[in-house]
Amino acid sequence: MRIRIRWKDREIVGVVNETPTAKAVYAALPVSAKASTWGDEVYFDLPVETELAPDARPVVDPGTICYWVQGGALALPFGPTPISQGNECRLISAVNVLGTLEGDPALLGTIRDGNTITLEAV
């Protein structure tokens, strides 16, 4: 399953896997929300309720598409956050991994707090 994340005049595409959380996120599309940033992570509210997956983890690779169960948000880390050790992408708590972005995840660095993000199926 492929998704598109759009903001202002930019976009990035990602591939999500077939997990229960990824399927729930995909079923909720399209959705638009206001972005928040935390270090080199963008996140935004997503109307999906799900459980923390057995393989959930707090450290992921840049460009990983994540669902933050505790915060009810899609999380898109592309570099260090305030709690990272070194250059790792460490989120505030364990997240469900949904898939990966195609292309350079550093493009997410152009998103600012309050930008409208649209997430849609491709």
Q: If you write DSSP's letter for every residue of 20-37 in order, what string do you get? A: HHHHHHHHT-SEEEE-EE
50-87 residue pLDDT tens = 999 999 999 999 999 999 999 999 999 999 999 999 99
**33, two tokens:** 């929300």
pLDDT recorded at residue 116: 98
Structural tokens at position 17: 């896997």
The pLDDT-based confidence of 109 (bands split at 50, 70, 90) is: very high
Domains of the chain by start residue, with CATH: 2-121 (2.40.100.20)
User: Tell me: the pLDDT tens digits for 25-34?
Assistant: 999 999 999 9
Cβ atoms within 10 Å of 113's Cβ, excluding its own: 10
